[in-house]
Structure formats: C-alpha cells, structure tokens
Chain A
Amino acid sequence: MINYDEIRESFERTSGEILDRAEELILKFESETAPAWLDELFRGMHTIKGNAGIFEMETVANLAHAYEDYLSACRLLNGQAVNGETVDILLKAVDAIRLSILEPDTLPAEQAERLADALKALAREAGGNVNGSTNGTSQASHNVPLNGNGNSHNGNGHNGNGNGSIGTANGTEHSKFKLKVPQKLIEAARTGDEYLFAVLFLLEEGDNHTLEEFNNTLKESLGNETVLRSALINTKWSKPGGDTGLLLMVQSKAHPESIIERIPFKLLYKKILHSPTNGNPPTPEENTRKDPVVPATSETSAADIQTPVTRNKDIMTVKAGVLDKLFQLIRETVLVRNEHMGKIGRHSDADLNRSAGQLANYISRLQEIILKTRLQSLNLVFARIPRIVRETARLSGKQATVQIEESNIELDKSIIDEIADPVIHLIRNAVDHGIEPAHVRLAAGKPETGTVNVSAVMEDSAVVLTFSDDGAGLDLGRIREKAVRNGLVSADAAAALTDEQVTDFIFEAGFSTAEKITETSGRGVGLDSVKTAFQNIGAHLEVISNPGRGTTFRATVPQTLSILTCLVVTLKNQRYAINQKNIKELVSVNPELLSRQNGFRYYQLRRELLPVVDLTELLDTNGNSAKATKADSSGDGRFIVVIRTKLYAYGILVNNILDPEDLVVNNFQHRLARTHGLSGAGVLGDGMVAQVVDVAAVARLAEVPKMSAAAEAHNLKALAQAEGENQAAADIGEWILFNIGPYGFALPAQSILRLESIRSENMEDIVGGRIYRRGETISHVYNIIKGSFEIEHLIFLRDVGEKAALSCSQLHNIVHKPVESAEADGHDRENLLNGYIIEGDKSYGLLNTERLLKAVRSELDRRAQHINPEDEQPAGIEEKTVQEALA
C-alpha cells in the first residue's frame, strides 16, 4: 500500500533542500553565473517540476519550467554576473515555489503568472529564447498541449508513469496525458532483465499509413527488439486537423537510445520505465527529451521523488518523533541508572559494583550516541543569513555584506529549531539598526558597505555564536533616556547605572529607540523574545557595544539537550549542580582569608583576590534568607567552588561538596524561566532535586568584573610558562601538592587540567594497565608508584588532556610557595627537579613535568600498540628512582 502522505512529505522535504540550495546559488549570481551553478540549479528545478506533476501542482510546475527557461538562456551569459533586480525576481520565484509546495493554492494565480512572465522576460534579456529548448528539444512542441491516450499501465522502479498535467510554455493551457503501463509488462522486463521504455514520435504530413504499415516499418528498423504495444494517437495540437503521434512501448536488451536512433520519425518524448540491473537508471534528462513530462500516478513510490543529490547508502531518514522517543527513554534510563548506582554504591560487593559500573558506562555511551543522532548542521540556520542581509539592506537602503565563519558545527535539532528565528532577527537588527547609511559611514571614514560577521565556535561543550556588525554601536544615552521615559527606571537611578545595565534595557519587551517603524523593525518587538528563545534552550545571550565600531551579540548555546556532568554541592540544605566544565578547582575555606569590601566578598586565593558569591544572599530576592553581615563574612561556606569561564573568574561559597553526577537537566519553564542565576533543575540519584547554577548569570548578577584582556594575557603567559620547564627556577609558583602513599609530590598547578576522585573498583583492568571510563572517554591511569588505595585521586595533565591521568592517594591544596633548594647528594634525580615545596611540616618533591609527560606519552604509545608489559621495561618513572630521590 503506497502511503500518499509519505510521498508528499518526501517531496516537500527534497524540494525544500533544493530550494535552500537554490537560494544559496542565486545569491552568488550577483558575482558570477558559473556554469556548474546553473547546471545544478537547472537539475534542481527540473526535479521539482517533474515531481510537482505527481501532485498536480500546476503553479509549481509552471514556475519551475519558467525557471528552467531562464537558466538555459543564462548559459549564454558565459558566467557574467546578473544585477540585483534579477536576483530579486529569482529569489521571489523560489519563495513562490516554496509556498506553493507547502501551502498549495495560497499563492494568487495572477502573482504566479506575473513571476513566470518575469522569468521569461529575464530569459529573453539573457539572450535566450523562452520558447527555446531547455533540453535540446524543439521549440514548436513546447507551445502545444498534448492530449492523448496511450496503452495501459503501471510503474515501478525509477520511473513514474500514468496521469498528470503537461504544461505549455506560457503556462496557461493544460491538458491531461495518460500513459498507463500494464504491470505484466514491467514484470516481463524485470524477469528478462531488460529495458522497458515508452516513446512518442511525431508523424509528419504525408505519413498517412495504417498502424500495421508502421509496425512493419518498425520491424525492419528494430530487428529483434520487441515492440510490446503501439498506438496511433491524435495529438490535437497546433492545427484543427491535428497531427498524429505514434506511441510505442518497447522491451529491449539494447539501450533505448540506440533503438530510438534507428526509428525514422521525429522523437517527441521518451520515458524509460525499467532498466536492467547492469544498466544505469535513467536521468531526468534521459527520460524527458521533450518538455512534456509524463508525471506519475498516485501509485508512484516514495523512491520516485528524485533528489538532486546522490543518495548515500550510509544515510537513512529517521522520523524526528522516533528520535524524540529515544531521547525520552535515555533520559529516563539515566535517571534510573543514577538511582541504582547510588543504592549499589552502598554495598560492599565488588563484583556487583564492577558490573554495575560497566552497565552505567554503557548507558553513558548510549546516551552520547543518542544525543549525537539528533545533531543537525548549524548551516541549516546560517544558510538563510546572506539572503536576509541582502533583503534587509535593500529595504533599509543600506549597503551591507556578510561574512560567515562556521566550522561544521552541529546542534541538537530542537536547539536549531529554537534559534532559527532569533538568529534571523539579530541579523535583521544588525543591518537595519547597526549598520549606518553609506553617506554616514563614508563621513566616519568607514567603507561604504557595512559588514555583518557571523561565527560559530565550539568552546568546551558549548557553541558560541557571535553576530557582530561594524556599525555605530548602541547609543547608550538614548537607551538611558528611553528607559526613563518608558518608566523602567527613574532618572536618578538611570544616571547611576553601569553601561552594561543600560545595555540590558534593549531586551525589555516593547523597548525600541528606533525613530521610525520600518518594514523590518522598530516596533520594539523582538529582542526580548530573542533573549527568551535563547533562555528556553539554556543559552545565554549578551551584547557588547563599541561606540562607533559596532555591536556584537554573543550567545553561548549548549550543543545538546542538557545532560550535563555536574558537581553537586549543598547550600542551606538545598542542592545545586554546577557544570564541571566551568569548575577550575575546589578550595577549603580558611575564614581568615575571606573578607568583605564595599559590600562584595573576596577570598585571598594564593596571590589573587578572588570575588566570592553567596548564592543564597545573591538570589534570594524575597529576602527569606538572613543577610550575611561583615562579622559573618564566611556565611556557612566551608568550601569555595572556583569558577572559570571565558569572561569570569570567581568563587561560589558552598556548605558541602557531593559527588559529580550526570544530570538530566529540565530547563526552567513558565514563570521560573525568568529566574536569574538558575537555569533549570535535575533529579539526582537519590531522588532529590538539584538546581543548576547558571555561572555566567550569577557572575553578572553579582557584578563580578569581567576578566580584562590584560588578565587573560597574564593567564596565557602563566600557562605558557607552565608548559615550559624549569619550574624550579621560578621564584614563586603555584603548586598542587599530593601524596602517593607516604611520599609527597608537587606539580605546577598550571600543568593540571582537572582533578577527579573515584573509587578504585570503578577502574577497569586491561592488558598492561588500568583505565577509567567516563562516557565515551577512556583515560589511562598511570601510577608513579605501585600501590592500592580505596579512593584514588586522578590528576589530568593539560598536555595529554583526558587521555591519561596520574593516580595519587591523597590530594592537598594548591599552594603559592617558593621552591626550596636541595643540596646535591650524588643521586640521579632526572625524574625530580632539584628542589622541594615546604608546606607546614612536610616537604613535597618537585616532579619533573617534562620527564613525566614524556613518560606518560610513551606509556600511552605502548598501550596503544598492545605491547606486553613483561616484554619491555616501562618507560615511566621507576619506583626505585622516586624512592631514592625522596630518601
């Protein structure tokens, strides 16, 4: 049973893809009309025209046909560019085709005709002939409708056949042409593995013979090939008496072309109905030498919908609903896994723990794969931008161009759907409000044409989208004035606001400083909904304005629907989750180092003053929690979670630190979506709810200063220094102190990517070592000294990333200390540097980072090559050497 809806859906989808690509190509015509682009566009339009016949969409077929005429004529341009008006018409025609496919009968017939006429006029202008051939066919036949009845019916395989309308060049006359192919003919061709094709020849005046006489002529011409059916049909075209056509249905071993050549009549039309397995499927061009296309019947299969691209056998279409169900299931599975892992963790059965750990890992991998299946290219959104820029510039009388930088980034389908319109809105705004008119730009010493820059880059697990223009920037004075006039803030309060706070007014509903309402903007409807749309997907939108130099909107968007690895912390008996990607380190609070200045909290973290935030105090706008006083500057905070993002570095005070968990995050909806500082909540393994901290929003609320370029440079310099060697030579450095059994070691803090504590039974033994698996990431665990500890602390080194981690038994703090020299004692200490860090009454040997990294890399190579550890001396630091060094 053929599902008509499925065929229709397939037609809409493939046509949509063709039209998207068409838009992209047409926009390039303003610079050149490369033959390859014309050909591609022609093929696409031809496909749409053919498929439109299936659904009797005359408007679509006519427009696509007129498009073909134009493109054929365009080939005579030899690659010359076309003007903007032509591009406008071409784009409008694409829109009209799209609309007519998605919502048939919506486009007024007169409008469709006007567009088709405009396309034909363009074709004439381009030097072609509207009535000329589109595929090398004669002119006369284009102008005539074809009526007639062939013989019998049914289709399969590559071809549609049956019933449909045949268009004329002017798109006003139509008639029905039926070609019915008996199923048994198709079966016979399939059984014999031969070609089956239908051809229609025009019989000239004077060919006044009977069908039998024609058949005799054919037998002489064709030899052994079988003519299955033949019929004389009255084509009723051009003149009242009507011409006669000879319709043949032929089964042959030879290719249809070689047979057609042998028939001494003028070919009007052909269609290959079946090809042998070793024969090439017919191309659209092969099938319709003449324009009148034989459309398919409703019995045509979905496979008949031709696509302009080669079908990739590795890609299959899956309905979004199925993926949604899979996603829901994996969300539930992760929740159940978390709950079970919590319960199983309380048992001491090592086997049970190990198998549960493996199951948990498989679920993590499944989760990641399912999330990946939902990823779609960001290009789906970005492809629309050039046209939007062009049209907005035209409507607003500006000159603008766009630069798009995108590196194959993919986002979850629902995120793509959610951001598509807001992105377009931002682009329109950039052109309409951001970029100045040409004369203003020239007066300001800028190029006449403004530029909108669009980029997308991956940063950790998020995608940062940037939309910037090189216009005038935001007029903060006017925004401030308008905010006061709209009653959003008093004049006094407005004067005290920071630039950032003033900028935020543009996201208020109904806020616009535009002097006049234009076709594209100025009504103040939009930026608030743009921001809400980004918030709905857990993204953050910020705006940076440089007076005279332009405005930048920056959106940090999660790549997938949120299943985040979060550190769970407690504060005032409530649990909060912080994305681990944003955590730099955890610090045990020394109350003496915590202080308040001008209402803000700070913590003296080594040599830096770290801004610190008490979430309860910051977010509880209802005043339910007691305000901390200067005397109680630490609140209940026993730990500080040090947050590090691209823009901010600060600490969050927490009471307690629990385990990290993969959290299925439900973004806050409805009224809670407007809550600042918290973006959603998830259910923990024990059934409790943890609220997810939006670290960037918290930083803004707490007025944490953004890291300056100088600070970033300082950090980079520090990093570069750490990546070098000779840390011992530095006067004072940041060191992480740890123990392996009784031995204390120190490593430069900047060389550490992250730290993680896990139970030993969650490691897996493999040949030659142990691994730790988190999701799809496998980290090789590297032991400097042999030993077994119930809890292992893993140190991930920045230079090898997640690939490897050092195991240690105890982690201490990060300290800011000078290196104490050690006297030479004659031992070879190539694995240790000649110095110690003294903390309290203990000393920690400085590991030679360069040597350590070399050893770790060598070990990774060895494991990758499956070398039996017994066969080769491990390349790592030898136990003896370390012990000797510490003796």
Chain B
Amino acid sequence: MKTITETKTVPILTWELGGQCYGLHLDQCKEVTEAMLIERVLGAPPETPGVVNIRGEVLTVINLAILLDKQAEELKEIKTPLIRLKHGNIALIANKVLDILDVPPAEIDSTAVRDDKNAAYFEGIAQTKFGLVTVLNTARLEN
C-alpha cells in the first residue's frame, strides 16, 4: 500500500534585484508590471527614487537593494519591471521577475536572517531552485 504524505506549500513570487533574489507571498502582491518609467522625485531618499503611474494611481517606488544596503548602487535604468504590493500604494523595483514558487512554510527560515538592523523587513530565507530567496515582510514596507 502506498502512503501519500501531503505537504502544504505557499506560493512565493520571486524576483532578482542587484544580484540578490527576493520573494513575497503571492497574496501580498497586487500585480507585476512590465518595464515602467519611473518619475524621479527631486530630493527623495535614494531608496525611494520616485513615483510611477499605474492606471491613474501614483505609487511610491522602493529600491530594496538600497533600502536594505545603503552602499548598494543606485539604479541607472529608470525603466524597470515593478512588483506592486497589495496594500500601501507601493511598487518594488525588480531587475528581473523570476517565477512563482511553491514553498513549504517550514522552509522559510526566520532564524537564518543575520541582518539585525533590517530584520523587521524579512520573514525569513528560503532555499529554492534560484538559490537563497529573502522572503519579505510586506507589512513593514507599508509603514
């Protein structure tokens, strides 16, 4: 007799930015856009290079690479794909959107986060086919 072991998974949207992979729970994502032109806002902090118009709504664009690592280089390209969060009128810059992966929740390891300063932004780190993916805590980004 064959025993089937059911493992529940959660869908995680993954993308690449600045050589790192990031992910978030798919239900926290409103949409993924094609490459869009970011309107620079003069005097805005580097991690928030500007705003973008998605169907009449002006969203604040966040560059995670700079938000989480102040030393990271500013984005040269001002036209990039964007991950729009479900709440908070926020869009995250992506160099390349990867895939939606089914990840068992247990494999999102919160203890693996070593960045104490930015720990609130992370839910944990998961090992996937793209390598390590940092899964975000979007609630922190919305504030």
Contacts and interface: CB of A to CB of B under 8 A. Distances in A.
Interface residues of A, number: 32
Contacts of B60: 668-672
B58 A683 contact: yes
A616 B48 CA distance: 17
A619 B43 contact: yes
Interface of B: 39-48, 51-53, 56-58, 60, 62, 88-90, 142-143
Contacts, number: 79
A670 B42 CA distance: 15
In order of increasing CB-CB distance, the 4 nearest A-B pairs are A619-B42, A666-B58, A619-B43, A335-B56
A335 B54 CA distance: 12
10 contacts: A664-B56, A666-B57, A670-B143, A671-B44, A671-B47, A672-B44, A675-B42, A676-B43, A682-B58, A691-B39
A689 interface: yes
A620 B58 contact: no
A212 to B, nearest CB: 73
A315 interface: no
Contacts of B52: 689
Interface of A: 331-332, 335-336, 574, 615-616, 619-622, 624, 664, 666, 668-672, 674-678, 680-683, 687-689, 691
Contacts of B88: 669-670
B39 A678 contact: no
A620 B43 contact: yes
B43 A678 contact: yes
Most chain-B Cβ atoms within 10 A of its Cβ — which of A332, A664, A669? A669
Contacts of A619: 42-43
Given A672-B41, A675-B43, A688-B39, 16 more contacts: A620-B42, A621-B42, A670-B90, A670-B143, A671-B44, A672-B51, A675-B41, A675-B42, A675-B44, A676-B43, A681-B58, A683-B58, A689-B39, A689-B52, A689-B58, A691-B39
A669 B89 contact: yes
Most chain-A Cβ atoms within 10 A of its Cβ — which of B42, B53, B57, B88? B42
B48 A670 contact: yes
A574 B58 contact: no
A677 B42 contact: yes
Given A335-B56, A683-B58, A674 B42 contact: no
Contacts of A624: 40
A666 B52 CA distance: 12
A680 B60 CA distance: 10
Contacts of A688: 39, 53
A242 B60 CA distance: 75
B8 to A, nearest CB: 33
B45 A671 contact: yes
Nearest to A677: B43
A685 B131 CA distance: 44
B57 A616 contact: no
A674 B53 contact: no
Contacts of B41: 668, 672, 675, 678, 681, 691
Contacts of B40: 574, 624
Contacts of A671: 44-45, 47-48, 60, 62
A664 to B, nearest CB: 8
Contacts of A669: 60, 88-89
B56 A683 contact: yes
B53 A621 contact: no
Most chain-A Cβ atoms within 10 A of its Cβ — which of B39, B46, B58, B142? B58
Contacts of B47: 671
A680 B89 CA distance: 13
Contacts of B39: 574, 681, 688-689, 691
Nearest to A680: B58
Contacts of B43: 619-622, 675-678
Contacts of B42: 615-616, 619-621, 675, 677-678, 691
A687 B45 contact: no
Nearest to B38: A689
Nearest to B42: A619
A175 to B, nearest CB: 51
B45 A674 contact: yes
A689 B40 CA distance: 10
B26 to A, nearest CB: 23
A627 to B, nearest CB: 14
A671 B47 CA distance: 9
A398 B3 CA distance: 79
A653 B18 CA distance: 37
Given A672-B44, A677-B43, A678-B43, A683 B53 contact: yes
A92 B40 CA distance: 53
Contacts of A616: 42
Nearest to B40: A574
Contacts of A687: 53
A328 to B, nearest CB: 10
A848 to B, nearest CB: 47
B48 A681 contact: no
B46 A622 contact: yes
Contacts of A677: 42-43
A718 B51 CA distance: 43
A655 to B, nearest CB: 14
B80 to A, nearest CB: 16
A681 B56 contact: no
A332 B56 contact: yes
Contacts of B51: 668, 672, 681, 689, 691
B47 to A, nearest CB: 7
A509 to B, nearest CB: 15
Contacts of A331: 56
A624 B52 CA distance: 19
A671 B43 CA distance: 11
B85 to A, nearest CB: 11
Nearest to A664: B56
